[in-house]
């Protein structure tokens, strides 16, 4: 394996004053509609992009103040990236037209040639063909896979510039999608500066890799690797493909112990004498589907604890024995699991779970509490930054601390947020659709001796008019929905409930801005009046080098 190109940065992060280009960034309503539109359609785009279609003949064009301008598929245009938009795509404009173009892996200030690959009603998507001049704040990416892997798209962008861009994205979405005044955000101090992550590598406590029958090699490396045999890959899915895998020997986002285990498995799993076959997503034949590595921490010694989870198409422990024998010798490996998933889907959650070595769970601590993590548990992926995130959430609670208040925890997952504040509340009621997560939440409550927390399994997108009968009226509502945000039924329920405070924790600022608009300004076409005032928005960078942004928002009843 080739060594990383540069040393991994370490140490704290000190945000610089934004450069003039960032302060004066012109954001039009049209460009923001592009971001909002991409938020709504990204699932469909990801599905459609998996099909390989031949590229049509390309034509280079020169645009000179042509308006209106509508590019055709296959045309080549010269572009300059103005900013980063939803999912980390570069937002560009065709020179002299104002026409919006989105380009993956284009970064602010970069001048490049792009080929139009897809045309929408009010914007187009292009693929970068040739870079003319580099982007601002160019740095050397330390990961050898950074240019090809879909995970870390901005490793070659200075970290301070990454977080400035994320903060700007949140501001634009809150103004244009949430319909809040930029002047009010500034004057009332509602919009807080983004909180950076001071650990920018090796921060993930969970990584999932896929076994594959088709190894994906980037186009520019095809000639270099032509002489290599077409070995089965173990790594990450190539961007846009469900059936092709980029072989990965080391990932700079996961822990060192996890990387050592990954390297050991890479060394032996293809050995013909072990008769291990990767699962073929087309023929549905084969054995090995996924490899999941989870890193926890022994709460007594502080040492890393590693769980290795093999996801297979059937239960054949004798086939896994050579791998188990090898990796069980690693001192940090305390759990080796086997999830059996017989379905043809690509999920890593099995219908059966077997312990092949050690114990079925690993431990982690967060905000002074202990958590047992099973193979399929949801847990904050960046434990270090989760400590900071949860402290920011606690600062929004404003609980009296006398044990008199009721807390409603929606989308509670394994109960991490609700359990961290149970000691200050009278009772916490948590709701979550994933049954295993609810089981974990109850177990974690018992583990920490918390008796004033009730966790219920239920779909919050399908609540009925009697939902409020299951708990007393809360003083505080915490909602932490997944990327699609909250269903209109839940919005309506919260507007009728009128709890004194809502803390909205979001992993998708686009749908967060939409829901804040509903809660504060109402939904006129459904005769729903808003009744909350937005008090603060705190962006948090949980995942450096990726487009993901977390936000903590506080709303108070008007």
Report the alpha-carbon distance of residue 409 to residue 425 in Å, rounded. Answer: 12
Residue 520 buriedness (CB in 10 A; 0-12 / 13-18 / 19+): middle
User: Which of 232, 239, 234 lies closest to 251 in space, CA to CA?
Assistant: 234
Cβ–Cβ < 8 Å for 409, 415: yes
Degrees, nearest 5: CA angle 205-209-210: 160
CA-to-CA distance for 373 and 362, rounded, in angstroms? 5
Helix (H, G, I), strand (E, B) or coil at 253: coil
Burial (CB < 10 A; 0-12, 13-18, 19+), residue 194, is buried
Burial tier of 535 (Cβ tally within 10 Å: 0-12, 13-18, 19+): middle
Q: 167 a known binding residue?
A: no
Is 398 catalytic? The answer is no
The two three-digit tokens of residue 414, written as one number: 């394994």
Catalytic residue among 507, 512, 520, 553: 507
CA–CA dist 189, 186 (Å, integer):
5
Q: How far apart are CA 259 and CA 308, in angstroms?
A: 12
Q: Find the Cα–Cα–Cα–Cα dihedral 154, 156, 160, 165, rounded to 10°.
A: -40
As a residue count, the chain comes to 558
- Cα first-last separation, the chain: 60
Instruction: Say which residues have a Cβ less than 8 Å from residue 502's Cβ, sequence separation at least 6.
Output: 476, 477, 478, 479, 494, 519, 532, 554, 555
Q: Residues near 439 by Cβ (< 8 Å), separated by ≥ 6?
A: none
> Strand pairing of 333-340 and 352-358?
antiparallel
Separation between Cα atoms, residue 102 and residue 115, nearest integer Å: 11
H/E stretch holding 421 reads helix 416-421
374 by Cβ neighbours in 10 Å (0-12 / 13-18 / 19+) ranks as buried
Candidates 372, 334, 341, 371; CA nearest to 355 is: 334
Is position 243 annotated in a ligand binding site?
no
Q: Is 432 annotated as a binding residue?
A: yes
Annotated binding-site residue? 254: no
CA atoms within 13 A on the CB side of 253: 26
Binding residues for S-adenosyl-L-methionine: 380, 411, 432, 480
Binding residues: 380, 411, 432, 480
Mind telling me the catalytic residues?
507
């Amino acid at each position: 394996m080739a060594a990383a190109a540069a040393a991994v940065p370490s140490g704290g992060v000190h945000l610089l004053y934004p450069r003039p280009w960032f302060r004066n960034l012109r954001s039009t309503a049209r460009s923001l509609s592009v971001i909002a539109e991409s938020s709504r359609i990204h699932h469909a785009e990801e599905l459609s992009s998996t099909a390989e279609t031949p590229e049509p003949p390309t034509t280079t064009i020169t645009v000179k103040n042509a308006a209106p301008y509508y590019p055709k598929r296959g045309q080549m245009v010269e572009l300059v990236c103005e900013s980063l938009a939803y999912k980390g795509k570069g937002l560009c404009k065709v020179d002299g037209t104002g026409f919006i173009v989105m380009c993956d892996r284009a970064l602010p200030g970069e001048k490049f040639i792009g080929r139009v690959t897809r045309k929408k009603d009010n914007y187009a998507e292009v693929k970068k063909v040739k870079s003319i001049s580099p982007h601002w704040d160019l740095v050397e990416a330390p990961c050898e896979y950074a240019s090809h892997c879909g995970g870390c798209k901005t490793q070659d962008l200075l970290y301070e510039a990454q977080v400035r861009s994320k903060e700007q994205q949140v501001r634009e979405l809150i103004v244009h999608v949430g319909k809040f005044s930029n002047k009010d955000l500034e004057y009332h101090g509602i919009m807080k500066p983004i909180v950076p992550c001071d650990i920018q590598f090796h921060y993930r406590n969970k990584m999932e890799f896929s076994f594959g029958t088709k190894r994906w090699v980037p186009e520019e490396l095809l000639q270099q690797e032509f002489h290599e045999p077409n070995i089965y890959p173990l790594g990450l899915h190539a961007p846009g493909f469900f059936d092709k895998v980029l072989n990965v020997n080391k990932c700079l986002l996961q822990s060192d112990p996890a990387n050592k285990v990954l390297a050991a498995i890479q060394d032996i799993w293809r050995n013909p004498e072990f008769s291990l076959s990767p699962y073929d997503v087309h023929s549905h034949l084969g054995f090995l589907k996924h490899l999941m590595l989870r890193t926890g921490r022994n709460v007594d010694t502080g040492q890393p604890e590693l769980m290795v989870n093999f996801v297979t198409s059937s239960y054949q422990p004798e086939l896994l024995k050579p791998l188990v024998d090898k990796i069980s010798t690693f001192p940090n490996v305390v759990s080796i699991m086997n999830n059996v998933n017989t379905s043809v889907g690509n999920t890593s959650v099995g219908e059966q779970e077997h312990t092949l070595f050690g114990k079925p769970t690993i431990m982690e601590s967060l905000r002074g509490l202990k958590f047992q993590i099973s193979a399929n548990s949801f847990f904050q992926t960046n434990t270090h930054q989760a400590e900071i995130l949860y402290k920011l959430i606690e600062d929004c609670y404003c609980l009296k601390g006398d044990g008199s208040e009721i807390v409603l925890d929606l989308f509670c997952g394994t109960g991490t947020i609700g359990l961290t504040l149970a000691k200050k509340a009278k009772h916490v009621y948590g709701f979550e659709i994933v049954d295993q997560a609810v089981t974990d939440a109850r177990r974690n409550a018992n583990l920490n001796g918390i008796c004033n927390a009730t966790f219920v399994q239920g779909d919050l997108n399908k609540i009925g008019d009697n939902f409020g009968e299951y708990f007393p009226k809360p003083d505080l509502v915490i909602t932490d929905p997944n990327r699609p945000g909250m269903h209109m039924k839940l919005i309506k329920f919260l507007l009728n409930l009128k709890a004194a405070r809502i803390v909205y924790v979001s992993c998708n600022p686009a749908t967060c801005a939409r829901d804040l608009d509903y809660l504060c300004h109402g939904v006129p076409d459904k005769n729903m009046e808003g009744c909350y005032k937005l008090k603060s928005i705190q962006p948090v960078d949980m995942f450096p080098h990726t487009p993901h942004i977390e936000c903590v928002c506080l709303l108070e009843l008007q």
